[in-house]
């Protein structure tokens, strides 16, 4: 009320100026309020759009990650299911490449390679490139001794190693595709004492192989090693099956040759001599009686040969009484049928350490060697010895005093020969994890030795000593 009275007492011109100033101030404030509200709305809208974009990006990233995980899972399933050795390596490398692919790094700069030992022996063989991703064609033909740098360290230590500047590596630096790579992660493909090779990833970013990335690659490599082992075992079984089929086929061919050279010709001779005796009876009964006696002897000898063949095909005494009794029976039948002396020295202690299937293989090694000596060496005596030489190692020997032969000359031309006796000896020796040694000199006979391991430890020693 006082303010109003004061205003009314003022000069009209002053009052108008005061009212105008107040109106201007009030109008400016309203305008400022309107401008402020519009800016807040704009900022709020920008923030909402940014939040929406982040949410969409997050959903998109999650979808990409989920899709990548599905692909990795599918490849892992294929990896564990496949028994093809090369396919296992392909899948293992692709899994590693796929696992390290992201939005920030699409993976087009990541390189991968699987290096394998050419003979499975890391001490004697070079590493070659089995499978690779993004290597140049010129790189694919290179081999690596594995005696220096990263490869030597990984193989010797048996664990994964993170390396920098692969271009400076004394062996891997020769790979052109690695010239721009600042970092690499190398993992050995090892199962027990067997090292198949290494799997190596490389990238231009020196910080690319983080702890998480390395852990993922370690998991993939472990699964790959299991799958490689399974594929190798399956491959070995297939090779073993093929080898057994070849041995059986050779056995059938050998039986056919023996039948043709022995009983078949004897039976044909019997038929001709019976015909001759029949005609002779009409002219000279005394002479025909002598001829019939000779025919009887020939028939008896042929019967013995057939029985000997049946015995060697399946020696039932081997299954019922063991190796020593089977070899003794074989020696007696060889003497009875062919008048050939086979002298035995068999340690029963060694036989008791051998499984029945190994006893069967050893029997056929001896039978093959004795047959070769009887038919080709013209030996007067054949010695067969089986004795222990160490606590877990035995020695099988087949020796004769026959003609002997030049081992190098026969081995060089062996593929052109019809007989596979030496091949059969080697393959059967491998079936019992043994080591075959053959020594022969023209005019001085032949000496065959087979080292036979009796325990798994002895098998490992023999494998590493060969």
Q: What is the CATH number of domain 75-236?
A: 3.30.450.40
Residue matched to tokens 């000199």: 441
Tokens read off for 8: 């009314």
Given this model, what pLDDT does residue 56 score? 62
| The two three-digit tokens of residue 369, written as one number | 């060697």
Q: May I ask the CATH architecture of the domain 323-466?
A: 2-Layer Sandwich (3.30)
Mean pLDDT split into 10-residue runs, the chain, 466 residues: 54 56 52 56 73 63 52 62 80 85 68 84 73 91 92 92 91 92 94 87 92 90 86 80 72 70 77 80 78 82 78 78 92 88 93 89 91 86 94 93 84 57 82 90 91 87 69
pLDDT given for residue 111 in this prediction: 93
Residue 150 pLDDT? 94
Residue-level pLDDT at 171: 94
Query: Do the bridges between strand 381-390 and strand 341-346 make them parallel or antiparallel, or are there none, so unpaired?
Result: parallel
Residue 171 burial (CB count, 10 A): 20
pLDDT at 181: 92
pTM of the predicted protein model:
0.50
Q: What pLDDT, on a 0 to 100 scale, did the predictor assign at position 34?
A: 47
CA pseudo-torsion sign 202, 151, 113, 65:
negative
DSSP 316-350: HHHHHH-HHHHHHHHHHHHHHHH--EEEEEE-HHH
Buried b (16+ CB within 10 A) or exposed e, 226-248: ebbbbbbeeeeeeeeeeeeeebe
DSSP 368-434: HHHHHIIIII--SEEEEEEEEEETTEEEEEEEE-S----HHHHHHTGGGSS--HHHHHHHHHHHTT-
Angle, helices 285-313/211-259, rounded to nearest 10 degrees? 170
Separation of CA 238 from chain center: 11
In the chain, domain spans: 2-58, 75-236, 323-466
Contact 340, 374 (CB under 8 A): yes
Query: Which pLDDT score, from 0 to 100, does residue 77 have?
Result: 65
């Amino acid at each position: 009320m006082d303010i109003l009275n004061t205003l009314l007492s003022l000069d009209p011109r002053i009052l108008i100026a005061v009212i105008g100033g107040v109106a201007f101030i009030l109008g400016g404030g309203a305008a400022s309020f309107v401008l402020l509200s519009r800016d807040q709305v704009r900022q709020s809208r920008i923030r909402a759009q940014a939040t929406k974009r982040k949410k969409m990006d997050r959903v998109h990233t999650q979808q990409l990650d989920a899709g990548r995980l599905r692909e990795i899972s599918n490849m892992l399933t294929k990896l564990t299911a496949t028994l093809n050795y090369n396919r296992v390596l392909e899948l293992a490398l692709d899994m590693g490449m796929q696992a390290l692919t992201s939005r920030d790094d699409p993976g087009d700069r990541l390189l991968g390679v699987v290096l394998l030992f050419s003979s499975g022996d890391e001490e004697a063989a070079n590493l070659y490139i089995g499978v690779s991703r993004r290597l140049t064609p010129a790189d694919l033909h290179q081999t690596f001794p594995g005696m220096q740098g990263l490869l030597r360290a990984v193989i010797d230590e048996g664990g994964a190693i993170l390396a920098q500047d692969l271009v400076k590596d004394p062996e891997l630096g020769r790979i052109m595709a690695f010239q721009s790579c600042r970092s690499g992660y190398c993992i050995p493909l090892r199962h027990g004492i067997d090292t198949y090779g290494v799997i190596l990833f490389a990238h231009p970013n020196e910080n690319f192989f983080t702890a998480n990335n390395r852990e993922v690659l370690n998991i993939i490599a472990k699964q790959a090693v299991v799958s490689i082992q399974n594929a190798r075992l399956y491959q070995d079984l297939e090779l073993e099956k093929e080898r057994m089929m070849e041995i059986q086929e050779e056995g059938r061919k050998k039986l056919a040759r023996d039948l043709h050279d022995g009983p078949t010709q004897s039976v044909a001779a019997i038929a001709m001599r019976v015909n001759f005796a029949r005609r002779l009876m009409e002219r000279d009964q005394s002479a025909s009686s002598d001829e019939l006696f000779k025919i009887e002897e020939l028939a008896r000898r042929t019967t013995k040969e057939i029985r000997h063949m049946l015995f060697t095909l399946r020696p039932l005494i081997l299954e019922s009484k063991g190796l020593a009794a089977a070899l003794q029976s074989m020696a007696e039948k060889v003497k009875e049928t062919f008048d050939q002396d086979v002298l035995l020295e068999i340690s029963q202690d060694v036989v008791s350490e051998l499984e029945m299937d190994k006893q069967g293989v050893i029997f056929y090694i001896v039978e093959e060697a004795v047959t070769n000596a009887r038919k080709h060496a013209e030996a007067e005596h054949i010695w067969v010895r089986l004795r222990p030489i160490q606590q877990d190692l035995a020695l099988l020997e087949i020796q004769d005093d026959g003609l002997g032969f030049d081992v190098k000359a026969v081995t060089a031309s062996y593929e052109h020969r019809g007989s596979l006796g030496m091949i059969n000896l080697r393959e059967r020796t491998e079936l019992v994890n043994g080591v075959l040694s053959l020594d022969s000199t023209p005019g001085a006979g032949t000496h065959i030795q087979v080292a036979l391991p009796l325990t798994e430890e002895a098998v490992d020693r023999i494998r590493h000593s060969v």
